[in-house]
Every structure is written in structure tokens, then in C-alpha cells.
Amino acid sequence: MMRLAAVLATLAAVAVPESVVGEVTIKRWNPEGLSQPVGYSQVVTYEGTGKMVLLGGKAGLKPDGFIPETLAEQSKLTWENIDLALKAAGATREDVVEIQIYIVDLANIDPNPAYQDVRDFFPVGHKPVSMVIGVDALAIPELLLEINVRAIVGD
């Protein structure tokens, strides 16, 4: 019975639930290639007159749970995961309109590797609004960086 519960929990995590409210459809899922959490969605899209893509808490975390040690390595992997999630949602770097970057112990580390990755990720003319927030810790203690992303994909 425990095994069946684990299988059902896994299926629930990768299912693609949709809800329709008026003329807007909201879809939440965990794209292949990213970790498959149970408590939240890796990608949420909203479709109506356009599509909003919300990527919550992207981090330098591999699907097998591996987390690199340095901020530079985590930042690089985080942007790879963001790119993967955007593509899974039908969005591109050019569609991103906002990012929120959370960095652990910001006052006592060199954040420049993370800042450079932001500059390198977005094409000229497509830089989103952004905010950097220093925090004491993230939900997974080994993480040094986490990024929220909002994108708008036109019809």
C-alpha cells in the first residue's frame, strides 16, 4: 500500500492540471528535466489574450537533487533551469519581463558571478525588470541563490 501511495504522489506531481476561469486557462506542471516537487509547481502559465508564465523558485538544483557548492556554479545551473522551464512553457528569454533574485548572505559574499549571468542571459533590448534581495537562508540550506521569473508570451 505504501508503494502505491508513493506512485500516486509522483503521478500527481507530474500531472498537468488546468483550471478555466472565464476566458483564461491556468496550467501548472513540472517539466521533464527539472525536479518533480509535490508541494509546488515548477511552471505556471496563464492564457487568455496572451500567456503569462510564472517560474517560482528556480535554483541550481539538478533533477537528482545535486546542488553545486559555489554561488557561480549554482547561478550557472539556475539559468540553465530557467531556460529549460521557459522553453517547456513555450516562452523565450525575450519574453521575460521580471526577475527576483534571492541571494543568501549577500552582504558578505561577492555576488558578481550571479550579476554577470543575468547580463549574459538576456539579449540586448530584452532585459527584464529585476530585484535582488539578500536573505539569511533559503528553503534548502545548501542553496545560495533562488530566482523567480515572470514572462509574457503574446498571442
pLDDT tens for each residue of 22-32: 566 778 888 99
Domain extent for 25 = 2-154
Give the cell for residue 21: 476561469
Say whether pLDDT at 64 is over 80: yes
Pick the more confident residue, 1 or 131.
131
Of 45, 65, 70, whose CA–CA distance to 55 is shortest?
45
Are 52 and 148 spatial neighbours (Cβ–Cβ below 8 Å)?
no
| pLDDT 10s digits, 72-121 | 999 999 999 999 999 999 999 999 988 999 999 999 999 999 999 999 99
- Round the average pLDDT of the chain to a whole number and report it: 85
Residue-level pLDDT at 120: 93
For the chain, the domain total comes to 1
Whether pLDDT at 21 is above 80:
no
- Secondary structure (3-state) at 70: coil
Domain with residue 129: its CATH number is 3.30.1330.40
Does residue 16 register a pLDDT over 60? no
Question: Which residue's entry shows cell 503569462?
Answer: 52
Q: Are strands 43-47 and 18-21 parallel, antiparallel or unpaired?
A: unpaired
pLDDT average, residue stretch 39-61: 86
Residue 8 is predicted with a pLDDT of 42
pLDDT exceeds cutoff 90 at 67: yes
Q: What is the pLDDT of residues 140-155, one digit of tens each?
A: 999 999 999 999 887 7
Say whether pLDDT at 2 is over 60: no
- Sign of the dihedral defined by the CA atoms of residues 67, 115, 126, 51, in that order: positive
Mean pLDDT confidence for 33-55:
84
Those residues whose C-beta lies under 8 Å from the C-beta of residue 128, and which sit 6 or more positions away, are 96, 97, 98, 99, 122, 149, 150
